[in-house]
A = this chain, B = another copy of it.
Amino acid sequence: MTLIKEETATGTMMVIDGLELSNWDRDFLLELQKGGVTCVHACCGLWENARETLSKVSEWYRFFREHDDLVLPVKRGEDIRKAQDEGKIGIILGTQNTSALEDELGLVEVFEQLGIKIMQLTYNNQNLIGSSCYEENDAGLSRYGKLIVEEMNRVGMVIDLSHVGEQTSLDAIRHSERPVAITHANPDWIYPSRRNKSREVLQALKDNGGVLGLCAYPHLINGPETSIDEFVDLIVETIDFMGVEHVAIGTDLTLNMSDDFLHWMRMGRWTHDMDYGAGSKSNPSWPTWPSWFKGPADFPNISDALLDRGVSREDVASVMGGNWYRFFDESFRRQKEM
């Protein structure tokens, strides 16, 4: 734990996780604190419509209030800095879908005002905006989708492409005037999966100035047996391809979640039959996590392993949090402030 603790003491190092789902409670916050985590993008919705998302948001407000000694809601880069200064966990709310927007362009600003600072354009299905990585055909960004991208640019809401299809991703990156994010996915030539990303998409993301959060979700690597050395290989190879300033962490951590939630996550209301997403019939439940990342207290295992591999302290700090901080600080501003 040397690096994170040392550097945290001097106020120079941040650990920021590009996405976590979890059964958020006080114990989980204490685990995050143990891991030296400064800020997390927390999933606030998957298939919910506008009305349902209001309830999800209000549950988060209650969580913020009940644990205000430990957490701090993040709407701007300076809130992340404040969380670090106060030793709290900054939480960025985001949804893994644009279902909350329904067919109403004006709701982008409404949800941005409520603190939803990140939206993934699609979850696992085609929607009004574009296509997911699991659709057979991806027609790219729709007419409405283009307007949504422009509006997200305008209000300072991050466009997330993690589960988004290839063509829709390329269209969104091209159409966006501001850098976009892939908060939680891996290069597909290292770990083949529909959910992981092609060279073409990652090259476009890099050229657009965006950031990729490398993902420890077992189904997106080699399962729970993946070693920390292999995960460091993934980081180092991705840095070689994209440049260190475009690479970060987005664990996609899912701890203490119910099977009911897993079914909601995978099936929403759109199917009566199980859809496994990145899982499979032989591996249908929540994944088992690798021994070196059983929870957020294990973040120092990643930074220590990067140091052991000879990555510089500066680059480790960039990957562990510095890149997300820079990206969020810029991206959360309104376009006219830039």
Q: Which residues of A contact B (CB under 8 A)?
A: 50-51, 54-55, 57-59, 61-62, 104, 106-107, 109-110, 113-115
B residues in contact with A110, CB < 8 Å = 54, 57-58, 61, 114
> Can you list 8 contacts pairing A with B, beta carbon distance less than 8 Å?
A50-B51, A54-B104, A54-B110, A58-B107, A58-B109, A61-B106, A113-B113, A114-B114
CA distance A245 to B104 in the complex (A): 44
Option from B51, B106, B113, B115 in Cβ contact (under 8 Å) with A51: B51
Option from B50, B55, B107, B109 in Cβ contact (under 8 Å) with A106: B55
Residue in B closest to A61 when the chains form the complex, CB atoms = B109
B residues in contact with A109, CB < 8 Å = 58, 61
Task: Tell me, rounded to whole Å, the shortest Cβ–Cβ distance linking A229 to chain B.
Answer: 45
B residues in contact with A57, CB < 8 Å = 110
CA distance A113 to B58 in the complex (A): 10
CA distance A107 to B57 in the complex (A): 9
Evaluate whether A104 and B58 lie within 8 angstroms (CB atoms) in the complex, with A113-B114, A113-B115, A114-B110 already known. yes
Residue in B closest to A57 when the chains form the complex, CB atoms = B110
Residue in B closest to A112 when the chains form the complex, CB atoms = B61
> Chain A interface mostly helix, strand, loop or mixed?
helix
Q: Which 6 A-B pairs have the closest CB atoms?
A: A58-B106, A51-B51, A61-B109, A58-B110, A54-B110, A113-B114
Q: Does A59 lie within 8 Å of B106, measured CB to CB?
A: yes
Residue in B closest to A64 when the chains form the complex, CB atoms = B109
CA distance A59 to B54 in the complex (A): 18
CA distance A110 to B57 in the complex (A): 7
Residue in B closest to A60 when the chains form the complex, CB atoms = B106
Task: Tell me, rounded to whole Å, the shortest Cβ–Cβ distance linking A151 to chain B.
Answer: 11
Task: Tell me, rounded to whole Å, the shortest Cβ–Cβ distance linking A235 to chain B.
Answer: 37
B residues in contact with A106, CB < 8 Å = 55, 58-59, 61-62
B residues in contact with A107, CB < 8 Å = 54, 58
B residues in contact with A55, CB < 8 Å = 104, 106
B residues in contact with A50, CB < 8 Å = 51, 54
CA distance A104 to B115 in the complex (A): 19
B residues in contact with A115, CB < 8 Å = 113
Q: A58-B107, A114-B114 are in contact. List 17 more A-B contacts (CB 8 A).
A: A50-B51, A50-B54, A54-B54, A54-B104, A54-B107, A55-B104, A55-B106, A57-B110, A58-B106, A58-B109, A58-B110, A59-B106, A61-B109, A61-B110, A110-B114, A113-B113, A113-B114
Residue in B closest to A155 when the chains form the complex, CB atoms = B61
CA distance A206 to B54 in the complex (A): 36
CA distance A205 to B54 in the complex (A): 33
Residue in B closest to A111 when the chains form the complex, CB atoms = B54
Task: Tell me, rounded to whole Å, the shortest Cβ–Cβ distance linking A171 to chain B.
Answer: 25
Residue in B closest to A102 when the chains form the complex, CB atoms = B51
